[in-house]
Structure 1
Amino acid sequence: MSEISHRIVRSAGGLEMRIAEAGSGPLVLLLHGFPESWYSWRHQLTALADAGYHAVAPDQRGYGATGGPDEIDSYSILHLAGDALGLIPALGADRAVVVGHDWGAPVAWHTALLRPDLVRGVVGLSVPPLPRGKRRPTDSMRQLLGDAYYMLYFQQSGPAETELARDLPTTFRKLLAGRARLGGPGLPLVPEDGGFLDLFDAPTDLPEWLTEQDIAFYSTEFGAHGFARPLNWYRNLDRNWELTAAWHDARIEPPALLIAGERDLVVANPAAMEALAEVHRHVPRFQDVLWLPETGHWTQQERPKEVNEALIQFIQGL
């Protein structure tokens, strides 16, 4: 089995990013979500390397040893996609397959939208490609989902990062393995006078795919670097909408795949399913949705074997 190594690489945009990497060959970029790090791809790095690829998982802007500025407006989708695209020449490659999970998925979709010449193929895990809407995202959320929707709770600087950092092992046990308490029509709504973590029951036992060592790793990472910068990604939702006006109704041209868990509330909901029904309109080379049974939101960690096989098959078919 290939070994994972780490180093600091300066992206073409100037940000010095910690990367985890394994193998050699065509480049595959693996972009993590919230609140994670390169570590969420630990199973894919070695599998892709053994299959003949140079697999690279960075700590993205604001995370882990990469860090980043404190200013909220430095975390727009143009910054995030620029960081990922800037790694391609920095790693000596002409093009890459870009894979993203959770928040990493919108970054991956935008790399393919903005620079299709650099992206051989794109894979999203959990989050489908969503076209730019006609209204500011937070306005739409308030109208459709109410003020208690968790992404709106994340908009205010201070409360969310303080809550998440209070007891790190409990935070990650709840987020990664807890059962969600949904309000309204199956929505993650922050209770009045409560916080985001009140949406989850703490598990009595960890699932097979998650260990105490995994919890300890995430706790150490976020204990050192905090949650404020990662939460700034959410605080740019409206700014992203403004900045991407030039790409309204633009198409994502590279070949594309979505991998999702059947129990993942992010994608297994009416709004996401409606978007998927129209996906070929704005992603003409969209190949398929691979639905993973008995799988929740933490796709590549919960089902590494199936995800590895799907990624390798997709890349070999390009």
Structure 2
Amino acid sequence: MSVNGLTMHIAEQGTGPLVLLLHGFPESWYSWRHQFQPLADAGFHVVAPDQRGYAGTDQPEAIDQYTILHLVGDVIGLIHALGEREAVVVGHDWGAPVAWNTALLRPDIIRGVAGLSVPPTRRAPARPLDLLEKRFGKDFYQIYFQEPGVADAELAADLKDTFRRFLVAASGDAEPAKARVEGGGFLSAMPRPEKLPSWLTEADIDAFAEQYARNGFTGGLNWYRNINRNWELTAAWEGARITPPSLYFTGTRDLVRTFGAPDFIEKLPELAPNLRGVVDLEGCGHWTQQERPDEVNAALVEFLKGL
């Protein structure tokens, strides 16, 4: 499908009101594999794209082609390319900031928004990477991701091993993952698991590895390389609030929870005043909709039908 000059790969199922499912890093449309049938059965047209730079979608070469404005533009372009005038957006990990920002910038088109793992946040008081380095140190993983080619090569060296380590290490089935680079690499702090948890199969590992064989990790890493640029580009929305109806999912063992203030959940209504609820999944790690599909699906269907 042609979207903003990109050839974008999508997976879709069902008919009815449009629901877009936006994946995170390092994932693809496949991370929503458990959501298609339940949402389609509930009466929705479910579409999950490979986002800009990922898997089956084109990967622009220039780093500055991956700003949050490009990513929001892709969502709006996809809605229009599908022949629709409005949609609900649901995002996980990096897909969550894309979903939150799409709802913030285009509330005329987004009739509902749900975020998994990553909550909406206030605009930082200074360049975010500077603040992250000051708080977490130079070995924080988002700092490590900044140098073009470095993390790209490490993660692409053995695709199956990368997904096996990363997906298990950041899940609720492993010891709490570390957000710092050790021994010169991102994966060095992630032991190779002897067996996979119940929610992850060898076929899943194979699927992610096969999809990443086309584009590798550079496109997704370029999203991180625009963090400071995004801060500069979004100055005009300082203090703006997300007005469409919203829903937030989090896992009690998700490392992302340690990045924000301890009371971030209580303060969410200040950022999203039409928040319909928070789904707090006990023992769930970072891969929310993959680890706990039944709970996620039930809450999403209830939210969507209530719009």
Q: Structure 1 length normalisation: TM-score?
A: 0.92
In the aligned structure 2, how far is the partner of 1:233 from the partner of 1:152? 13
Does the CA-based 8 Å contact 2:176-2:255 persist in structure 1?
A: no
In the aligned structure 2, how far is the partner of 1:164 from the partner of 1:89? 34
Query: 1:224: how far off?
Result: 2.0
1:124–1:82 Cα change, 3 Å: same
2:113 is equivalent to residue 125 of structure 1: no
1:215–1:237 Cα change, 3 Å: same
What residue identity is the alignment partner of 1:170? D
Deviations 1:162-203 (A, max 9, x none): 100111111111011134665xxxx51112x42000121111
What residue identity is the alignment partner of 1:10? S
Partner residue in 2 for 1:24: 15
Partner residue in 2 for 1:200: 190
Query: Aligned runs of 1:1-318 on 2, under 5 Å?
Result: 9-11=1-3, 13-178=4-169, 179=174, 188-191=179-182, 193-267=183-257, 269=258, 271-318=260-307
Query: 1:295: how far off?
Result: 1.1
Query: 1:303: how far off?
Result: 0.9
**In structure 1, the residue corresponding to 2:98 is in which secondary structure?**
helix
What 5-or-longer segments of structure 1 have no aligned partner?
1-8
In the aligned structure 2, how far is the partner of 1:20 from the partner of 1:80? 18
What residue identity is the alignment partner of 1:273? P
Does the CA-based 8 Å contact 1:177-1:207 persist in structure 2?
A: yes
Partner residue in 2 for 1:5: none
Does the CA-based 8 Å contact 1:17-1:58 persist in structure 2?
A: yes
Q: Structure 2 length normalisation: TM-score?
A: 0.96
1:66–1:253 Cα change, 3 Å: same
**Root mean square deviation of aligned Cα:** 1.3
In the aligned structure 2, how far is the partner of 1:290 from the partner of 1:27? 22
In the aligned structure 1, how far is the partner of 2:75 from the partner of 2:259? 30
What residue identity is the alignment partner of 2:104? L
What residue identity is the alignment partner of 2:87? A
In the aligned structure 2, how far is the partner of 1:137 from the partner of 1:180? 28
What residue identity is the alignment partner of 2:292? R
Query: 1:161: how far off?
Result: 0.7
**In structure 2, the residue corresponding to 1:277 is in which secondary structure?**
coil
**In structure 1, the residue corresponding to 2:33 is in which secondary structure?**
helix
**In structure 1, the residue corresponding to 2:277 is in which secondary structure?**
strand
Does the CA-based 8 Å contact 2:56-2:214 persist in structure 1?
A: no
What 5-or-longer segments of structure 2 have no aligned partner?
none
Does the CA-based 8 Å contact 1:259-1:292 persist in structure 2?
A: yes
What is the identity percentage for the equivalent residue pairs of Structure 1 and Structure 2? 56
What residue identity is the alignment partner of 1:132? R
Query: 1:270: how far off?
Result: 6.3
What residue identity is the alignment partner of 2:300? L
In the aligned structure 1, how far is the partner of 2:90 from the partner of 2:161? 29
In the aligned structure 2, how far is the partner of 1:89 from the partner of 1:224? 27
In the aligned structure 1, how far is the partner of 2:111 from the partner of 2:38? 19
**In structure 2, the residue corresponding to 1:276 is in which secondary structure?**
coil
Does the CA-based 8 Å contact 1:180-1:201 persist in structure 2?
A: no
In the aligned structure 1, how far is the partner of 2:161 from the partner of 2:7? 31
What residue identity is the alignment partner of 1:168? L
**Count of aligned pairs between the two proteins:** 303
